[in-house]
Amino acid sequence: MEPIIPGVVDLSRLQFAITALYHFMFVPLTLGLTFMLAAMETVYVVTGRQIYKDMTLFWGKLFGINFALGVATGITMEFEFGTNWSMYSRFFGDMFGTPLAIEGLMAFFMESTFVGLMFFGWDRLNRHTHLAITWLVALGSNLSALWILVANASMNLPQGAHFDPATMRMQFDSIVAVIFNPDAQAKFVHTSVAGYVSAAMLVMGISSFYLLRGQHRQFAARSFRMAALFGIISTVAVITLGDVLGRMVYEHQPTKIAAIEGLWHTTKPPFEPWVAFALPDDAKQENHFEIGVPFVVTPLVTHSFFTPITGMHELEEQAAPHIRSGIEAVTALKAWRDGGSADDLARFNAHKADMGYGFLAARHAPHNDVSSIPASKIEQVIVETEPDILPNVFVTFWSFRIMVFLSLLFFGLFAFASWASLKNRLERNRLLLKLCLWSIPLPILATEFGWITAEAGRQPWTVFNLLPTFLSASTHSFSYMVFSLAGFAILYSAFIAAELFLMFKYARLGPEDHTTHAGLAKPHNGDQFASVPAE
Amino acid sequence: MDSYALLKFFWAGILCVLLIGVGIMVGMDMGVGTLLRFVGRNDGERRTALNIIGPHWDGNQVWFILGGGAIFAAFPTLYATSFSVFYVVMIALLFSMILRPVAFEYRSKVDNRVWKASWDWVFLISGFLPMFIYGAAFGNVLEGVGYHFDWTGQYHQDQSFLLYLINPFAILCGILAVALSVYQGGTMLMLRAEEPIYGRARRYATLAGWISAALFALGGFWIRHTVGYVLNAGGDPGMVADPLHGQHVIRVSGGWLTHYANYPVLWIVPLAGIVCMITGPVFLRADRPTLAWWTGAGAWTATISAVGIAMFPFFMPCSTRPDESLTIWNSSASAYGLTCMLVVAAVFVPLILTYTSWCFYIMRGKVRTADVTHDSHSY
Amino acid sequence: MRLLSFAGLGLVLTVALLFAVFVGDQGPWYFAWVIGTVMIVLISGAGAILLDAQQEQTSLEEI
């Protein structure tokens, strides 16, 4: 192994984090808006009322502005694994590339081909075919998310593959194990439904804007009602699935759950408090200003009252034998790869399970090569490696809390909004409308923090317990990274400025005029509800 | 040949098809982007040109995405190494690629001359540059790339990226790809536009056709005198997919023509390319754009197949340590992964071709400037 | 024609049933997503239609 330049790895991580978080601002809206459009168009086809077609067209236009950026920034993601994470891509290509390629074949092609027909095919397709196309776009965009999250789940909970020393790669064994990975299941539903919440909030917020101004009232009332109901069910689902996902993390990623809950020491059930507020100190490995709610954390995480959760100090202690055995594994592996004997291979196989910890120890070894650690220094390297198994606790702890507190806020807001809309009391509750308007960016913020929780909490690994992050990056020079980061910064800033400008412009313009005069009074083919009062 | 070797071979073939798909479909859209400022003299004409590919560019672009995904899944070592070795070029490609979807969606959404003119330049850059890089990458790979692996499988770069940028043969390949894409884009414009766009597109596409024929022939003569790579020993098709062990590669002047020398019947492929590139402009002169579109597709198919035959079984030869060259046999995924993907591809590729054709069928017919400017949903 | 649409419907139902049995067994949360999403879409659609009905029955114009 040639020495690794730490700064390059950090810059690669920074670039990936920026581009992924940026991409993820647009994806949740796409996931949700497509299904909201499908809902609106379904109502249009069932009732035949023009106003629902106008709704589909108007929200479809906002969807289009957002979709373009989602597609554009998605291209970056597809190539960044290869351009910046070569070791990871090679090591994990079977497991990660396959879902990505299936995503292209099964979902992205469908979504991208039909989105053109959805926008341009109104006059060329009959209503039912167009409705089917809209549903296919919605299905396609969510299936895309499914495969991406199946790939992501393999990084968090690798299953369905084994390591092959002859190729130095994970060899694929079972696609069923990959697709039905429990982490993938919970993650997909949680993420997809979080997208529904984001879209519902956007539609509800902009509708509130019209109601506050008394513009497009019928249009806004219907959009608001649909979004509020869409949002309340989705919020319930997102919270439920979040709990499921938490259990999954508890079972498979003890370091992540301990960091999320800020648990430095193993819990003492049942009294152990749930830390609602604290300032975790990664250097001193303790929490400052801790405020806890007693009796909560054990049932919350373990779904039982008496199971202790292992704390981070204990996890570090438990890691020591694994690190020692991992150093053995990697030393034997290197000897065998460099033309060693069958003995080396046997020695590797005996310690194979701990290989990842051996790679992790390379950071503290001379020239990043664990085989060159002198026997006298081994214990010292192990002690230095122990704290490396933990993620950044402050980031994981707080990103999780922000997400959770926001989701509880959404629950209250959508519940109130649904009630006010069903009772037709929206315009009396101007405060509610204002709250809805100002809450538009919050679900996107919550999904971003959810993403940070999941991925910051996975550290120090790219593939959990198998491949450390600092080994995964490409061996670029510093200047390459500066070049690409500067480029992304400039382009992405310009994009977000243009996107926001257009979103505001079209939201202010509102639905096109034929809603107001032709909308309710003239449904396009003999409608028994034609007597609804017009604006 | 055992089943693993057969799977690798299959996937190399599928990759070839995907690269051809990228050339034809993405190249066509990028050709329109490159030509936009030249075939459209005013806003209405430019919008017409954009709306001709408007309903399809997004679907077409997936060929490109899928190409990346298929390399990742089927040949992870190639994906990891090539994308990193060509970092600066790849990032430049990415920057120009991500500008394009945004340009389509945003250009006509604000009625301001500066705004629109800026996006028109973006179309030119995001049409020309990716196609140039696409072609130049083939040129670079043919010349060999400097890298080596350490025992973990991590690559290390041995050459500066400037060598890949300033390289006459790669520049020739880049211009060839741009010419083919402009030809295809111009032909597409002729299929669905009326005068005056039709006439202008014909002029540019004809010129691009002649240029591509000339460059392709020139490249063929050039390759006889460049250093090629030949598998000397080892490199068994069913080998363990590990680039560090198991093959011996030598560098030979004119080595890329070994297969053509051994099996002269293969010359049919590049000859078919030349024939397509020459007959294409003739069809254009005769106002037969449909036929010309298909000869353009034929030209892409023949060009990429000819390169594939020359390089077989190499993907990315290594100039500094030829024994670590990446081939079809030593850079592939596991047999199980390749099988899974094959099943998925067998189900979905026919489906994709069906619904893509259906979409083109639904949106067929001429696009008129008046329709575009009156429809608030058009680009 | 009618026979054909019956056959088509039968096929769709069979596929749906097989999907439900297999995915419901292997990936309960995937199955829940399918059912849940359809439910969310239908309920929000029903909410809009309810609004039409509410407006028709009362002369009030309040929203």
Question: What's phi and psi for A460, nearest 5 deg?
Answer: -85, 20
pLDDT tens for residues A395-429? 999 999 999 999 999 999 999 999 999 988 888 88
Q: DSSP assignment of B252-281, as one string?
A: EETGGGHHHHH-GGGGHHHHHHHHHHHHHH
On whether both A385 and A395 belong to a single domain, the answer is no
Do A385 and A494 reside in the same domain of the chain? no
User: Tokens representing A407?
Assistant: 């989701």
- The residue among A379, A371, A267 whose CA lies nearest residue A312 is A267
Q: Does A337 touch chain B (CB under 8 A)?
A: yes
| Cβ within 8 Å, pair A82-B83 | yes
Nearest-CA distance A22 → chain C (Å): 26
- Distance from the Cα of B285 to chain A's closest Cα (Å) equals 32
Residues A365 and A407 both lie in one domain: no
The answer to whether residues A235 and A330 belong to one domain is no
Pairwise CB contact (< 8 Å): B69 & A78: yes
Q: Are residues A249 and A293 in the same domain?
A: no
Show residues of chain A in contact with C28, CB under 8 Å: 185
Mutant choice from A33, A43, A141, A188 vs C, greatest count of C C-beta within 10 A: A43
What is the distance in angstroms between the Cα of B274 and the nearest Cα belonging to chain A? 32
Mean pLDDT confidence for B336-361:
89
Question: Chain B residues with CB inside 8 Å of A173's CB?
Answer: 336
Q: Looking at the domain assignment, is residue A57 inside a domain?
A: yes
Q: Are A327 and A279 in contact (CB under 8 A)?
A: no
Rounded to 5°, the CA angle C12-C15-C17 comes to 110
Is A259 contained in some domain? no
A252 touches chain C (CB under 8 A): no
Q: What residues make up the domain containing A363?
A: 316-389
In Å, what is the CA distance from B350 to each residue of A97, B222, B344? 21, 38, 11
The answer to whether residue B17 neighbours chain A at the CB level (below 8 Å) is no
- Chain B residue at shortest CA distance from A475: B156
Q: Which residues in chain A touch residue B94, judged by CB atoms under 8 angstroms apart?
A: 75-76, 79, 83
Does some domain include residue A263? Answer: no
A61 shares its domain with A147: yes
Residues A22 and A142 in one domain: yes
- From A72, A82, A110, residue closest to B84, measured CB to CB: A82
Interface test with A, best of B95, B102, B104, B157 (most A CBs within 10 A): B102
Model confidence pLDDT, tens digit, residues A141-193:
999 999 999 999 999 999 889 999 988 999 988 888 999 988 898 999 999 99
A199 occurs within a structural domain: yes
Do A46 and C30 make contact, defined as CB atoms within 8 angstroms?
no
* Residue A234 and residue A107 share a domain: yes
Would you tell me which residues 165-204 of chain A have a C-beta closer than 8 angstroms to some C-beta of chain C? 176, 179-180, 185-186, 188-189, 192-193, 196
Q: Are B105 and A71 in contact (CB under 8 A)?
A: no
Angle CA B127–B132–B138, to nearest 5:
140
How far apart are alpha carbons A323 and A328 in whole angstroms?
9
Task: Give CA–CA dist B248/B255, Å, rounded.
Answer: 15
Residues 453-482 of A with CB under 8 A from B: 471, 474-476, 480
| Per-residue model confidence as pLDDT tens for chain A (535 residues) | 566 777 889 999 999 999 999 999 999 999 999 999 999 999 999 998 999 999 999 999 889 888 888 888 988 988 899 999 999 999 998 889 999 999 988 888 888 889 888 988 888 888 999 999 999 999 999 999 999 999 999 999 998 899 999 889 999 888 889 999 888 989 999 999 999 999 999 999 999 999 999 888 889 999 999 999 999 999 999 998 898 888 888 988 999 999 999 888 888 888 888 888 888 888 888 888 888 888 888 888 888 888 888 989 899 999 999 999 999 999 999 988 888 888 888 888 899 899 999 999 988 888 888 888 888 888 888 888 889 999 999 999 999 999 999 999 999 999 999 999 998 888 888 999 999 999 999 999 999 999 999 999 998 999 999 999 988 988 888 888 889 999 999 999 999 998 899 888 888 888 875 444 333 433 334 333 333 333 3
**A106 with A147: CB under 8 angstroms?**
yes
Helices (H) and strands (E) in chain B, counts: 15, 6
Closest CA to B160 of B232, B246, B88: B88
Question: Both A354 and A439 in a single domain?
Answer: no
Tell me if residue A274 falls in helix, strand or coil.
strand
Cis peptide, bond prior to residue B55, ω within 30 of zero: no
Residue A397 covered by a domain: yes
Report whether B24 contacts B297 (CB < 8 A): yes
Q: Shortest CB distance from A185 goes to which of C30, C42, C61?
A: C30
Q: B336, B352, B371: which to substitute to probe chain A, counting the most A Cβ within 10 Å?
A: B336
Q: Is B376 on the interface with A (CB under 8 A)?
A: yes
Answer whether residue A527 is part of any domain.
no
Domain residue spans of chain C: 2-57
CB–CB contact B356 A113 (8 Å): yes
Q: Is residue A534 part of a domain?
A: no
Shared-domain flag, residues A243 and A296 = no
Contact B364, B272 (CB under 8 A): no
Using CA of residue B263, residue B264, residue B270, residue B276, what is the dihedral sign? negative
- Chain A residues 141-160 within an 8 A CB cutoff of chain C: 142
Token pair belonging to B17: 């098809």
Pairing of strands B326-327, B314-316: antiparallel
Total domains in chain A come to 3
A29 plus A63 within the same structural domain: yes
Inter-chain touch A475–B345, beta carbons under 8 Å: no
Q: Report yes or no for ipTM above 0.90.
A: no
Find, in chain A, the residue whose alpha carbon is nearest to that of B357.
A113
Q: Tell me whether A423 touches chain C (CB under 8 Å).
A: no
The greatest distance separating any two alpha carbons of chain B, rounded to the nearest whole angstrom, comes to: 66
Q: Are residues A134 and A215 in the same domain?
A: yes
For residues B177 and A308, give the distance between their C-alpha atoms in angstroms, rounded to a whole number.
63
